[in-house]
Structure 1
Amino acid sequence: MWHRIHALVIKELLALMRDPRERILIIVPPLIQLLIFSYAATFDLNHVRLAVYDQDGGSAARQLISDFTGSPNFELVRRLHSQHDITGLINNRNALMVLVVPQDFSRRLRNGLPTQVQVLLDGRNSNTAMIALNYARNIVNNFNDSWQRDHHLAKPPAALVTHAWFNANLESRLFIVPGVIGVLLLVVVIMSTALSVAREREQGTFDQLLVTPLRPLEILIGKSMPGLIIGLFEATIVIGTAVWWFDVPLRGHLATLYFGILLFLLSAIGVGLMISSLAATLQQALLGGFMFLVPAVILSGFATPIGNMPQAVQYITLFNPLRYIMVVLRGVFLEGTPFSLLLNQFWPMALIGVCTLAFAGWLFRHRMY
């Protein structure tokens, strides 16, 4: 028995390693993914975009602000002069945190009275907001310890008051569930389209298409439509589940949401058909699909913020359609982002879809003629 098993193992290894493309798929992608993921998949925040609204201007306020700006975790992007500037700054994602120092901050501290300092957070990414809030708490606690020690106080002089926009309680469910919708749609569409041509080629039925009157464009459309239909059906189910089962608020318009999903599905179908056209066997199509899916999820901002990744990795994420649908899903669900403000997310997905579908069509013609 063991002799037969040994012979079977040797045969499978030889069959696997005989194809140069499969040898490359086994060795090269894991090494590349290890290098990329080691830099990209991190929950540490090094450059939290911070804005400061100093209503006090006293020495104590300047000391507290210098503690924030001197920390390696924060990057001062703007000093505000009006309460009205805060809304646009957070809505446009120009700052993740706004530190608000009240007018009588320094005076109350000098008189030995307790006071408050306010932190406003962008709660759309609850994980990032929680990490940034912990950094802010540590800085305020260190400021309290220093002030108590220097002025011989018995109680902490400053209390931190926080308020998160779009996700008041920083519930991770409201951040995770919309992201899961994008991941599920990508997995379903990529795997269903990536296997289509490779399966027919392996079964020999793809050759029968060559003798039919169908043109390459018609074959491309025929291969794309099932993935699009399945994706839209899947999207409807998961959106309904998110709203009625998980109580995720849907503050935007369904038309805006479905338009973004449609563009995302077209780009995912293009990637899947490219993989399917390049793969000679079903096994290669499966490996190619997973080789795309894992980096796409890691580099999408699903769990770790893209802004915290190295600059070179951030450029790579520009070719990832999942990156853009994450912004669309979370924007429409959590903040009710209108169509006009999502145009900068729509056109990259449309461009990726056009390029990938065009390349898949070229591969069809190349294989047919």
Structure 2
Amino acid sequence: MLDALIRVYALARKEFLAILKDPRSRFGLLVVPLIQCLLYGYAASFDLDHIPYAVLDQDRSNASRALLAHLEGSRSFNRVGDLRRVADIERYIDDQRALIVIHIAPDFSRRIDSGGSATIQVIADGRNSNTAAIALGYVSAIVDAFNIDWAKRRSLVDAPIQISPRAWYNPNLETRWYMIPSLIGTLTLLQTLMLTAMSVAREREEGTLDQLLVTPIRPTEIMAGKALPSILVGAVQASVIFALARFWFEIPFSGSLVMLYAGLALFLLAAVGIGLVVSSATATLQQAMLSSFVLAMPFALLSGLTTPVANMPPVLQYINAINPLRYAIEITRRVYLEGVGIDHLIPDLWPLALIASAALVGAISMFRKSL
């Protein structure tokens, strides 16, 4: 029994020393959890600050100004526009300049001054159902505070203001409408990044990379041969998720398949490029897998999948500019739910093309140096 314990201790000590002697393992054990904790603490917040909203006040009375003063007095809201026409609402929501638009009808003050009730319409961007629901909840709380104050000063019993909420692109604010199209990019990234990262590392660990190098195949061709299967697997996986969203969950598809797959093609190139960089920089299969997980979690956390990017600290927003999943999720949501064309997708397409080009060039350069 004592001999068995000694052998177990010796084996455990050897493994522990092996982990501590490897700089990459030390980084994964000590630094990565710290970074992930900071990311979760700052980025994974369901509280909304500085909600951009616009106002269409067709009444322009003291009562309507008093109601809007309650919104402006809250640190959660940031007024970004005063609209003049109903047609302006669509423009502000489509361009994502405003998360919500508050529409006050012309007879608002006349109704509540006479002791009756008036309805204000609150239009929310339903492409992110969770954010829209939280924003509508904030507005309801502020309107409730205004109702209490107004009724107390005029000795009223009934609440003078009723809210008529309306969510665009997701009328019922169903979470699956917002979440499942986003998974087209998220799940595809995880699989593609993992497969690509392990490709070169597996060849190196098994000793077959040297056999490839003595063949007439060039390093660039080796990288292309490693990238194409991952791209194909990613495209198939994205198609399966799209089919589930469209036919199983019956989420209406409003856009063009050509635009959707054009955006996904750029995204897959970027994901494969990053995976090849990881594969070229790691020596073993285990290191490649660990590095893939280390990258995948921040990519998913900062992508806007669960929390809006605009709600993150400015530093994380700048870092997030190199996150390909952020642009992929934006493209899939806008094409799937809105049906936008290429003119609205250019701000997301060109960063993806830039990330893909930089990652592929960097991967080829690192692979040549490692030889």
TM-score range, shorter chain: over 0.9
Report if the CA contact (8 A) 2:124-2:165 is conserved: yes
- Within-5 A mapping of 1:203-352: 203-352=206-355
How far 1:137 moved relative to its partner?
0.3
1:114 to 110, 113, 117: 117
1:188 to 184, 188, 191: 191
Distance in 2 (CA, whole Å) between partners of 1:110 and 1:246 is 47
Number of the residue aligned with 1:129: 132
Number of the residue aligned with 2:78: 75
Report if the CA contact (8 A) 2:183-2:241 is conserved: no
Q: Using structure 2 for the length normalisation, give the TM-score.
A: 0.97
Number of the residue aligned with 1:46: 49
Letter in 2 for 1:248: I
**Equivalent position SS for 1:43:** coil
2:162 to 159, 163, 167: 159
Distance in 2 (CA, whole Å) between partners of 1:121 and 1:353 is 34
How far 1:344 moved relative to its partner?
1.2
How far 1:246 moved relative to its partner?
1.0
**Equivalent position SS for 1:195:** helix
1:173 aligns with 2:188: no
Distance in 2 (CA, whole Å) between partners of 1:50 and 1:220 is 48
Q: Deviations over 1:109-136 (max 9, x none)?
A: 1110111111011100000000000000
1:201 aligns with 2:204: yes
**Equivalent position SS for 2:172:** coil
1:21 aligns with 2:21: no
Distance in 2 (CA, whole Å) between partners of 1:132 and 1:21 is 43
Q: Deviations over 1:239-277 (max 9, x none)?
A: 111111111111101000001111100000000000010
**Equivalent position SS for 1:353:** helix
Distance in 1 (CA, whole Å) between partners of 2:260 and 2:12 is 49
Number of the residue aligned with 2:356: 353
**Equivalent position SS for 1:164:** strand
How far 1:349 moved relative to its partner?
0.8
Distance in 2 (CA, whole Å) between partners of 1:238 and 1:53 is 39
1:90 to 82, 90, 93: 93
Number of the residue aligned with 1:65: 68
Letter in 2 for 1:162: P
Q: Name whichever of 201-210 and 260-269 sits farther off.
A: 201-210
How far 1:6 moved relative to its partner?
2.2
Distance in 2 (CA, whole Å) between partners of 1:223 and 1:44 is 42
Report if the CA contact (8 A) 2:263-2:328 is conserved: yes
Number of the residue aligned with 2:144: 141
Letter in 1 for 2:53: L
C-alpha root-mean-square deviation of aligned residues, in Å?
Answer: 1.0
Letter in 1 for 2:115: G
Q: Name whichever of 323-332 and 20-29 sits farther off.
A: 20-29
Distance in 2 (CA, whole Å) between partners of 1:311 and 1:367 is 36
How far 1:20 moved relative to its partner?
2.0
Q: Deviations over 1:321-344 (max 9, x none)?
A: 000000111111111111221111
How far 1:37 moved relative to its partner?
2.4
Q: Deviations over 1:90-149 (max 9, x none)?
A: 011010100111111112111101111110111000000000000000011111101110
Number of the residue aligned with 2:9: 6
Number of residue-to-residue matches in the alignment: 368
Number of the residue aligned with 1:99: 102
Q: Deviations over 1:1-33 (max 9, x none)?
A: 333322222121111112123212221122122
Q: Using structure 1 for the length normalisation, give the TM-score.
A: 0.98
**Equivalent position SS for 1:318:** helix
Distance in 1 (CA, whole Å) between partners of 2:112 and 2:165 is 20
What 5-or-longer segments of structure 2 have no aligned partner? Answer: none
Q: Deviations over 1:131-168 (max 9, x none)?
A: 00000000111111011100001111110111111100
Distance in 2 (CA, whole Å) between partners of 1:120 and 1:358 is 45
Distance in 2 (CA, whole Å) between partners of 1:183 and 1:87 is 29
